[in-house]
Amino acid sequence: MAGRIVKDDIETLRRQADIVVVVGDYTTLKRAGRSFKGLCPFHTERTPSFTVTPDGNFYHCFGCDESGDIYDFLMRIEGLEFPEAVEALARRTGFSLRYEELSARERRAIGERSRFVDATQAAQDFFVKSLYSDQGKVARDYLKARGFGVEDAKRFELGFAPNEWEAMSRALTADGLKAEDLIAVGVTVRNDRGGLRDRFRGRLMFPVHDPGGDVIGFGGRILDALDYGDFDPPKYLNSPETPLYKKTRVLYGVPQARADIVRAEQVLVCEGYTDVMALHQAGFANAVATCGTAVGVEHLRMVSRYASKVVLAFDGDEAGVKAAERAWEGARELSAAGGGSLDLRVLVLPDKTDPADLVREVGAEGLRHAVDHATPVVPF
């Protein structure tokens, strides 16, 4: 965003945008007199109780009492902040927004963030291109063995980091990216000789997005079929803390899951990237994951924007129990800070079993039953 949006443009866009067209992307609407009616996208129902009034640019559900204008709808259904909703609507309708002049300090901050986002997106583009290259076959074979196809890879924008020391850094700097920006966003590091070295090497890559959809970091998994020589890499490697990526404030899979979280009125939080993919594949498209860290208050604050029921799917070992305890503490802290109450539950999995394993063992219906009967952690 280039600055504060001009208020007149916000009102003009509100009047000009067709709320029926926008809402119609999320639920089927049928004309009913001067209004339109359909099933509510915010809760499960069999009889339509959701109405859209184009003359007033207004919606209302008589079942769950959700109501508002076109911006309120986008904020609720997509979990956006107000400026994000305005910009999303402008992009959707081709409306050119104007922005107020910013101070020099604000312009520098926005310019720096823009450069960093460009750097992470350039890395993401490189990883995606590499996945579908000859080198990337080893990663595609791994996905196939795990039961994931091309559509799954594309849905989650997966990539591949070649098993080379400098492949990405060399390619991106040749394209004009600044080395210091690549270092700042954690995809490149300095080697002992002062040259550049790729942080991620020989890994299946999972991009992590912020709520607005920008790529801000990565997780990478090693591939057993590759030869890493004398180097013994960790199974998973995540981006370090950067100006964009704060692991206590991000969840993997939010862009893909957000609308389904709102519809289901609950979010399923697990621990692994492929767990999220397996759950989505099994019909649990409201699943997200932490990025190598425990669920904390900021994670809960984020998901509380979309749903009030949170189900934690953790391993049944000691680490899983401790993770549930930390989530409970985070929920208490959130409530005490006036951040709203959460219905927090835990789905305790058998030891050494992850959600993907459980799907294979009991099927989608078995997992659905387990989720529906998850154990309450703290009754707010």
Distance, in Å, from the CA atom of 330 to the CA atom of 337, rounded to the nearest integer, reads 11
% of the chain beyond a pLDDT of 70: 93
Q: Taking the CB of residue 149, how many other CB atoms lie within 10 A of it?
A: 12
Residue from 51, 69, 91 nearest 14 by CA: 69
Domain co-membership, 319 together with 214? no
Residue type, 192: D
Nearest residue to 216 via CA among 179, 255, 177: 255
Residue 1 in this model has a pLDDT that exceeds 60: no
pLDDT at 108 over 80: no
Contact 347, 377 (CB under 8 A): no
Instruction: Please check whether residue 38 lies inside any domain of the structure.
Output: yes
pLDDT, position 110 = 66
Using alpha carbons, select from 202, 170, 194, 175 the residue that is nearest to residue 118: 175
Amino acid making up residue 20: V
The alpha carbon of residue 91 and the mean position of all alpha carbons in its chain are separated, in whole angstroms, by 20
**Per-residue pLDDT at 348 exceeds 90:** no
What's residue 379's pLDDT? 45
pLDDT > 80? residue 81: yes
- Residue 293: the pLDDT is 75
The pairing of strands 309-315 and 343-349 is parallel
Task: Give the highest mean pLDDT range of 87-96, 201-210, 226-235.
Answer: 201-210
Q: Which residue did the predictor score with more confidence, 300 or 242?
A: 242
CA 221 to each of CA 200, 241, 250, 377: distance values in angstroms, whole numbers, following the listed order: 9, 18, 18, 31
Decide: 23 and 57 in contact? Cβ < 8 Å: no
How does the average pLDDT of the chain come out, rounded? 89
- Whether the pLDDT of residue 35 is over 70: the answer is yes
Per mean pLDDT, which range of 24-28, 64-68, 166-170, 354-358 is the poorest?
A: 354-358
Residues 183 and 237 in one domain: yes
Give yes or no: residues 48 and 15 share one domain: yes
Is there a single domain that holds both residue 41 and residue 171? no
| Domain C-terminal end among 208, 225, 245 | 245
Is the pLDDT score of 277 beyond 90?
A: yes
Assess whether pLDDT exceeds 90 at residue 313: no
Of 240, 212, 228, the C-alpha closest to 75 is 212
Residue 170: what pLDDT? 97
Report the range of poorest mean pLDDT among 21-30, 62-71, 239-248, 262-271: 262-271
CATH number of 310's domain: 3.40.1360.10
Beta carbons within 8 Å of 114's beta carbon, 6+ residues apart: none
Same structural domain for residues 231 and 265?
no
Pick the residue with more confidence: 317 or 54? 54
Write down the pLDDT at residue 234: 94
| Contact (CB, 8 A) for 97 and 7 | no
122 and 208, same domain (yes or no) = yes
pLDDT digits 0-9 by tens, 143-172: 999 999 999 999 999 999 999 999 999 999
- Write out the E strands in the chain: 30-32, 35-38, 50-53, 58-61, 67-69, 159-161, 188-190, 196-198, 203-209, 215-222, 236-238, 266-270, 287-289, 309-315, 343-349, 375-378
| 335 lies in some domain | yes
Tell me, what amino acid is at 15?
R
Q: What is the pLDDT of residue 3?
A: 67
Q: Please give the tally of structural domains in the chain.
A: 3
In a shared domain, residues 309 and 321 = yes
Identify whether 1 is part of a domain: no
Report how far residue 250's alpha carbon sits from residue 312's, in angstroms, rounded to the nearest whole number: 16
Is 98 a domain residue? no
Range of the domain at 57: 7-93
Is residue 339's pLDDT more than 70? no
232 plus 348 within the same structural domain: no
Indicate the range of 6-10, 180-184, 265-269, 376-380 predicted with least confidence.
376-380
The per-residue pLDDT for 73 is: 94
Q: Clarify whether residues 131 and 239 are in a common domain.
A: yes
